[in-house]
Amino acid sequence: MRIREIIVVEGRDDTNRVKEALDCDTFETNGSAITREKLERLKVLNKNRGIIVLTDPDYAGKRIRNIIERHIPTAKHAYISSKKAIDSKGKIGIEAASKEDIIFALEKCYTPASELKYDISNDLLIELGLVGGSLSKILREKLCEELNIEYTNGKQLLNKLNMYSISKEKLIETMKKIEDYV
């Protein structure tokens, strides 16, 4: 499978792993210190081909993702959960993910919405058991995995769902699938 967009990863090991999974070009940030020069290059790449951010599901990866999101709001974001990106020694990173999980993440990537759509309320999240219940964390983990978005706590879930323009209908439909497994 060939990917048109440039995949933004943290380092060489991530590039090697992603290229084992598919035919693509990558841009390596080389750690969480993203310089102004790198951001300018990413802006040009995004304008010309588009970029998909695929960083590690750890603090440094989230930091890189947030910086890029702030400066390039039209960048797409692909996620792999820390459960799926961990090696036998306990190191978390894209280089530890399976080829199938990398392909899945890139097929299910999101672009943050420029205008937020607020058809999901906090009351709905409570009603669905995603906030304030004894199983809320487990349900949020399953929801985020099913939607292929980065895991978030109860306070930030509403923002994340709205940011990616996930509709009320999509949320309810996904929760019905999850309830069948729980």
Are 99 and 154 contained in the same domain? Answer: no
> Residue 51 belongs to what H/E stretch?
strand 51-53
Predicted structure pTM score: 0.75
User: Which of 74, 107, 140 corresponds to the end of one domain?
Assistant: 107
Does residue 143 lie within any of the structural domains? yes
Are 81 and 137 contained in the same domain? Answer: no
Are 64 and 130 contained in the same domain? Answer: no
Does residue 114 lie within any of the structural domains? no
pLDDT of residue 1: 74
Does residue 137 lie within any of the structural domains? yes
Q: How many domains does the chain have?
A: 2
Distance CA 91, CA 31 (A): 15
**Quick one: tokens of 40?**
């300018």
Distance CA 178, CA 171 (A): 11
Identity of the amino acid at 115: E
pLDDT of residue 113: 65
Does residue 112 lie within any of the structural domains? no
User: What is the average per-residue pLDDT within 55-81?
Assistant: 92
pLDDT digits 0-9 by tens, 76-114: 999 998 888 888 888 899 999 999 999 999 998 887 766
